[in-house]
Amino acid sequence: MAEPIPPHPATPAIEATQLTCGYDGNVVLQDLTFAVKPGEIFFIIGGSGCGKSTLLRNLIGIQTPMSGTVKFFGQTFSEHDMAARRALLKTFGVLYQGGALWSSLTLRQNVALPLEEYTGLSPSEIQEIVALKLSQVGLTGFEDYYPAEISGGMKKRAGLARALALDPAIVFLDEPSAGLDPITSRRLDELVLQIREMFGTTIAVVSHELASIFSIADRVIMLERGAKGIIAEGKPRDLAANSRDPRVIEFLHRGDLPT
């Protein structure tokens, strides 16, 4: 089978329809339906235990939904054979919490991994791309450092460089600001904006950090544990100003709204 058909600009980058997720028969999220536009910075927000990480695992294919569908630019894994599924996987990258770098590999080697796995590029071509990706996240000169030798913020940027290695159309970020100080977190947010502006990348972010939500999110969905689903959707400032749901108000007004 040929590789998946290139996406149409009007097709959602990510589309979940009646998605139900859980573990061992226990439902965590039920009947979720939402879509993410190409080039959008889309946040999945909510308090601890609401199912944000569960939803992410179902979106990126680590976990199989109990029911419902997830499509990327109109295509699902189940519609293709293994070769085409592999090609579809190349259309998105993932930044896991903490960066999830291999501790025994240098930053150069970490970023090279997806290129070695998914392309037929020569070693010299791979190293050119690795240097470019590390440069894009501000890590030129740190290519031969190991994860233990750099700061938490630098690990996140190195993880982002790896997620961008294949020039994906979609990047998923799992709590990218977790554990970072406010200044480092703001710089990471600025980097996310730059990536979207430079490459038109669709970016889906799991986060509970208000500063990031209000500063870079185009749109959000808010999950709630008791509801087992979405209780609010829209622009974060609009929700903060206009929602009458006490759960939404409590979450979005935990501190002063960033200016």
CATH no. for residue 184? 3.40.50.300
| Residue-level pLDDT at 9 | 59
Q: What is the mean pLDDT of residues 155-172?
A: 94
Query: Which residues, including other chains, have CB under 8 Å from residue 248's CB and lie 6 or more apart?
Result: 222, 231, 232, 239
- The structure tokens 């087992």 sit at 228
User: Domain span at residue 133?
Assistant: 37-66+91-252
Show the DSSP H helices in 30-167 as ranges: 52-59, 82-89, 107-118, 123-136, 152-163
pLDDT 10s digits, 14-47 = 999 999 999 888 999 999 999 999 999 999 999 9
Helix (H) or strand (E) segment spanning residue 186 = helix 182-199
**Domain count across the chain:** 1
Show the DSSP H helices in 200-245 as ranges: 210-216, 236-242
Q: Is residue 14 part of a domain?
A: no
| Residue-level pLDDT at 235 | 97
pLDDT 10s digits, 86-99 = 777 778 899 988 67
